[in-house]
Amino acid sequence: MAAAPAYEEDLPAAPSWLNKGDNAWQLTAATLVGLQSMPGLVILYASMPAPPNNVLLMLTGGGLLWMGWSGFNGGAPYAANVDASIAVLNTNICAATSLLVWTSLDVIFFSKPSVIGAVQGMITGLVCITPGAGLVQSWAAIVMGILSGSIPWMTMMILHKKSSFLQKVVDDALGVFHTHAVAGLLGGLLTGLLAEPELCRLILPVSNSRGAFYGGSGGVQFLKQLVAACFITAWNLVSTTLILLAIQFFIPLRMPDDQLEIGDDAIHGEEAYALWGDGEKYDPTRHDSSRVDKTSPSPYVNGARGLTIDL
């Protein structure tokens, strides 16, 4: 029985050479977030340290992201076929490999593993495999995982930290440029190298598609990937910059530093995380509470510090 087709011959594309058959939307999706963020990060913002607020929530979100990404890549063929199952398998292989490589580099260079680093490595693996999840063999997914766990790690942990310009000018608290732009471009180029001819035949309407590693017309496909990456980069930098500059005429894109240091309370009059017991004092006039009758010292001297509220 013939495999269910993934794409049709007459799907529209703009430009025509950057069509779905050449995994253009996967490449765009993998790099879009990182590249769209750069004009805002570099041109209109300044750097401010922003450590993670809640590592447990980060792990929860990371797990949901990994699970959802399997559907994202597995659904790319638009059919329940062999290629879809390969895409899901490669997605998990690359993400796991990248996570292990990133964590190993943290241990080698910083003498301890990092949970935050592990999640960053997971994300770079997911992003990197996206352009070619259904087009590469599993061994190639491992290679992509090794590279996606090491090259973005180097740009984020070494190059970024050594550059005084990036430290002072770029406000990239989430490492979006490294985890999406660098990893996405890396995945797109590696797809142009490692795309397997038989898997390409199963999913792509462009005949004789293959990566440069397999000879033949593979070099042309690698050039397509390279040109596509340049096109996506230029398009996003120009369009996003114009959008941000237009928005700036109506509302400020960045709060003043003194308000950023205070946080949500400065702009909204409320706190995202109201944690009592760190020496704070409850001020009913400040929060306009009419239900507070009085405050009394807490009898639990060994517990949280601060005041209890009698309602």
Phi/psi at 308 (nearest 5 deg)? -100, 155
Locate tokens 């033949």: which residue? 216
- What is the greatest pairwise CA distance in the chain? 82
Same domain flag for 220 and 270: no
**What CATH number is attached to the domain comprising 51?**
1.10.3430.10
Decide which of 213, 247, 281 is a domain's last residue. 247
Same domain flag for 282 and 187: no
Query: In one letter, which amino acid is 94?
Result: C
pLDDT digits (tens, 9 = 90+) for 45-86: 445 555 667 888 888 989 999 999 998 888 877 778 888 899
Same domain flag for 272 and 141: no
**Phi-psi category of 277—alpha, beta or left, where left has phi over 0 and alpha has psi -120 to 50?**
left
Mean pLDDT computed over 207-226: 84
Residues forming beta bridges with residue 310, ordered by sequence position = 294
Residue 202's pLDDT band (cuts 50, 70, 90): confident
Number of domains in the chain: 2
Is 1 part of a structural domain of the chain? no
Question: What is the span of the domain harbouring residue 130?
Answer: 20-247
Which residues, 6 or more positions from 237, have their beta carbon under 8 angstroms from its beta carbon? 35, 38, 39
Q: Which of 30-44, 197-211, 253-267 has the lowest mean pLDDT?
A: 30-44
Same domain flag for 98 and 240: yes
Joined together, the tokens standing for residue 21 give: 């058959």
Three-state SS at 297: strand
Same domain flag for 81 and 41: yes
Please state, for a pLDDT cut of 90, what percent of the chain lies above it. 25
Same domain flag for 209 and 272: no
Predicted local distance difference test score (pLDDT) of residue 51: 63
Same domain flag for 164 and 56: yes
Predicted local distance difference test score (pLDDT) of residue 82: 84
Is 7 part of a structural domain of the chain? no
Decide which of 195, 214, 247 is a domain's last residue. 247
Predicted local distance difference test score (pLDDT) of residue 14: 45
- C-alpha 128/C-alpha 93 separation (Å) is 11
Predicted local distance difference test score (pLDDT) of residue 48: 52
Q: What is the mean pLDDT of the chain?
A: 75
Predicted local distance difference test score (pLDDT) of residue 281: 54
Same domain flag for 175 and 240: yes
Predicted local distance difference test score (pLDDT) of residue 88: 93
pLDDT digits (tens, 9 = 90+) for 225-249: 888 888 888 888 888 889 888 988 9
Whether residue 309 is predicted with pLDDT greater than 60 in this model: the reply is no
Is 165 part of a structural domain of the chain? yes
Mean pLDDT computed over 146-157: 93
